[in-house]
A = this chain, B = another copy of it.
Amino acid sequence: MIVILKENPNPRQLDSLMTWLKSKGLEIHKSVGATHTLLGLIGDTSSVDMNLIKALDIVEDVTRISEPYKNANRKFHPRDTVIEVGNTKIGGGSLTLIAGPCSVESEEQICEVAQRVKESGATLLRGGAFKPRTSPYAFQGLKAEGIRLLKKARELTGLPIVTEIMDADLLPMFDDVDIIQVGARNMQNFELLRRLGKIDKPILLKRGLSATYEELLMSAEYIMAGGNERVILCERGIRTFETYTRNTLDIAAIPVLKTLSHLPVIVDPSHATGRSKLVEPLSYAAAAAGADGLIIEVHNDPEHALCDGPQSLTPEAFDRIAKNLQTMFGRNAVAEAQG
């Protein structure tokens, strides 16, 4: 970290700053330039709040040289992290398809969708048991029963299951879930992240609606700092001024996150815009930009599609997309797994 001081800094304030920095265990390399003095901080600066120093009266600017995340940082882990779940894997070159309904509604529904998406090439089943809903009056999911039904579908198809947790207290119910999802609105629920750092299960971490790349990686770091290194990053659209789509898919997040981190990066093209017609082009775009996987909403009953999100596809549409992805990009988790 380099601190650029203002011209003629108040000596007492400078002294106070240097004492404080030393108390953090940092060595200071002072460099006096033509007009400005710089302080180079040597040591572990990950616990130093850059914004705090930046706002001091005597400081012109502060620049981090090393990122504040270590476990998630590609610099220290140059090789891609590949996460294996059952027969499938996420990361390292394959394009894993995760599919399933927005909410688990019945045994019939989840089992049928599971079979259909498996036939099309999905290797993981998603489905919401606990649903984060903006309104307290809206349907909040089947909860424990939803998880029970997901397991039924797993039994039937062999597909490992992914489902969202909303509070650390619910962890015991997720004992037998294969991948635990943290939703966008909980990306900075630090208590939840800390608790997930203590378990031995992959975590699918969604980017918050207005979270920066660094903040997403810091949230991954929370989990990893606890010892759980199996984190999957998920870009699912950010909030912008555009109102035609519910969110704006940040496609550059894929190559950027893969440069900064060794963790796998998947994309949710369903929530990214909230419009089912856009799932297809965005899926191809995400694969083309190097995503390690896609998590796509698929419902099985077009006649009653209302129960499902407007961003859901029919199994037929999902099948077409999965086949096209296979043709265009020649990489697919099924193929990999079978290989």
Chain A residues at the B interface, C-beta cutoff of 8 Å: 2, 4, 12, 16-17, 20, 27, 29, 31, 33-36, 38, 40, 42, 46-47, 49, 51-56, 60-61, 63-65, 68, 132-139, 166-169, 185-186, 188-194, 209-210, 212-215, 218, 221-222, 225-226, 238-246, 248-252, 254-256, 259, 272-278, 281-282, 284-290, 303-307, 309-311, 328-329
Contacts and interface: CB of A to CB of B under 8 A. Distances in A.
A63 B63 contact: yes
A134 B188 contact: yes
Looking at A139, A250, A282, A306, the one whose CB has the most chain B CB atoms below 10 A away is A306
Given A137-B225, A185-B188, A255-B277, 7 more contacts: A34-B42, A55-B311, A167-B191, A212-B241, A240-B250, A249-B251, A255-B278
A54 B252 CA distance: 18
A212 B290 contact: no
A12 B244 CA distance: 26
Contacts of A63: 4, 60-61, 63
B218 A135 contact: yes
A47 B273 contact: no
A221 B213 CA distance: 31
Contacts of A240: 238, 240-241, 248, 250
Main secondary structure of the interface of A (DSSP, over half): mixed
Counting from the closest, the 8 A-B pairs by CB-CB distance are A55-B310, A210-B210, A167-B191, A288-B288, A284-B288, A185-B188, A285-B285, A285-B289
Looking at A226, A254, A305, the one whose CB has the most chain B CB atoms below 10 A away is A305
A278 B256 contact: yes
A4 B307 CA distance: 20
A189 B134 CA distance: 10
A278 B290 CA distance: 11
Given A36-B65, A303-B16, A274 B51 contact: yes
Contacts of A282: 251-252, 255, 289
Q: How many copies does the complex hold?
A: 4
A263 to B, nearest CB: 16
Given A273-B252, A310-B55, A167 B168 contact: yes
B242 A250 contact: yes
Contacts of A254: 281
Contacts of A281: 252, 254-255, 288-290
A44 to B, nearest CB: 8
Contact of A38 (B31, B193, B274): B31
Contact of A251 (B38, B246, B251, B305): B251
